[in-house]
Amino acid sequence: MAVTLREVAAKAGVSPITASRALNNSGYVSRELRDRVLAAASELSYVPNAVASSLRSSKTQLLALLAGVINPFWAAVARGIEEVANDAGYGVLLCNTDDDPAREARYIDQLVRRRIDGIIVAATKDSASILQGLKRQHQAFVLIDRVVEGVEADTVRGDGSGAAYRLTQHLLSTGYRHIGMISGPHNVSTAEERAAGYRTALIDAGLDVHEDMILHGQYTESWGYEAAHKLMSREPRPDALFAANNSLALGILEALHTLGLRVPEDVAVVCFDDTTNLVSARFLTTASQPAQEMGRVATRLLLERLAAPERAPQHIILPIETVIRSSCGCSAGDRENSLERTEALLSPAAVLPVELAAGSGSEGSYGQR
């Protein structure tokens, strides 16, 4: 049914190989023949068969991202991956695992059968043995965001413990003493790592770590909601909450709202992952992970591994920027990103902030800026 390279070649009066070379810009083809082939191809509306090409070249030109994809952080990662991959002529498959090891395993099997060139995996600890299997089959892969003990592979991740340390330190130096930590599942390394940074900061400040102030659960809004309710009923009541990711933070905000507590006046909140796309999160002090960059780096690493399969594994740790905004209640709190400021910017009906309307300008400097 479909037009084949042979037919294109026949129409152009050349051999299939020449047609192939013309269409792929590979090897030597005279300008004249190239033009004839291209004309024939477009006339027949030829669509190359990637399956056949993959079979012969044993390259599928496909990479896959295996992660709980449905969430802004991973969406950004995926974007970074696609960017680099597409530039290098690769397509990207998005495989949504929901962090479920069974789904993870099913997907990996599929990907191997289909001879995907390389896989970028956000793995749970449960999948160590599967990943070891991949190594045995010489399937190229890269770990992203999360490390897995016992698996030798290229890795890219953020400096989660460092950033958690700094955020905690910031809360401590602002004066908070009862900081609750709401984190993700135990089988995900980032959840442990962020909790670890929090603990170290407390210890370094000479404070006791109260393990019952650290709650682990899913990286979801509803767990954030539930956990915040739990922590806020503790005695002494926490004066600050640390959310180990952004979904958790949203749940926490909602919980505090229903409890009638204000942020940061009654409780400070800090979190991981930036989400300036979410209006409701724009005032959150956060450890802003370079998600897109992480995707880019992971892809480069993977492409390099494809080129040099025997190279020693690389481990890249990206710095995480701490963005101080207003939800932590410190004096440096970024007025540009406070709730009120956001409102002023977006609402046509809003009154000018007091400082601007009343302040600073000495002479009548209307229109000055």
Which residues contact a second copy (rule: CB under 8 A)?
1-2, 45, 47-52, 54-55, 60, 69-72, 75, 78, 91, 93-96, 110, 112-115, 136-138, 220-222, 225-226, 229-230, 232-233, 250-251, 254-255, 258-259, 277-280, 339-340, 342-343, 346-350
Cβ–Cβ under 8 Å, residues 326 and 334: yes
- Which of 32, 149, 208, 363: binder of DNA (CB under 7 A)? 32
Indicate the angle between helix axes 291-307 and 72-87, nearest 10 degrees.
40
Q: How many residues bind DNA (CB under 7 A)?
A: 32
- 31/113 with CB nearer a second copy: 113
C-beta neighbour count of 337 within 10 angstroms: 19
Shortest distance, CB of residue 182 to DNA, whole angstroms? Answer: 48
Question: Binds 14, which of a second copy, DNA, none (CB < 5 to 8 A, cut-off by type)?
Answer: DNA
Q: Are 351 and 358 in contact (CB under 8 A)?
A: no
| Residue 24 contact, options DNA, a second copy, none, Cβ 5-8 Å cut-off depending on partner type | DNA
Rounded CA-CA distance 25/47 in Å is 16
- Classify 78 as helix, strand or coil: helix
362 binds, among DNA, a second copy, none (CB under 5 to 8 A by kind): none
Does residue 45 belong to the site contacting DNA (CB under 7 A)? no
Site string for DNA, 50-79 (x = CB under 7 A): --xx-xxxx---------------------
d(CA 126, CA 144): 15
- The partner in contact with residue 97, picked from a second copy, DNA, none with C-beta cut-offs of 5 to 8 angstroms by kind, is none
- Pattern 12-31, DNA, x by CB under 7 A: -xxxxxx-xx-xx-xxxxxx
Query: Taking CB under 7 A as the rule, does residue 89 contact DNA?
Result: no
Q: Which structure tokens are listed for 295?
A: 């995707």
- Minimum CB–partner distance for residue 114 and DNA (Å): 12
88 binds, among DNA, a second copy, none (CB under 5 to 8 A by kind): none
d(CA 163, CA 285): 12
Residue closer to DNA (CB basis): 58 or 331 = 58
- Distances in whole angstroms, Cα of residue 22 to Cα of each of 3, 54, 55, 225: 16, 18, 20, 60
Residue closer to a second copy (CB basis): 172 or 215: 215
Alpha-carbon torsion 48, 50, 52, 58, what sign? Answer: positive
Rounded to an integer, what distance in angstroms lies between the CA atom of residue 23 and that of residue 41? 9
Q: State how far the Cα of 10 lies from the Cα of 16, in Å rounded to an integer.
A: 8
- 30 is in the binding site of which of DNA, a second copy, none (Cβ under 5 to 8 A by kind)? DNA
**Cα distance between residue 92 and residue 337, in whole Å:** 35
What tokens were used for 222? 């509803």
Place of tokens 């002090």: 285
Q: Which residues bind DNA (CB under 7 A)?
A: 2-6, 13-18, 20-21, 23-24, 26-33, 46, 48-49, 52-53, 55-58
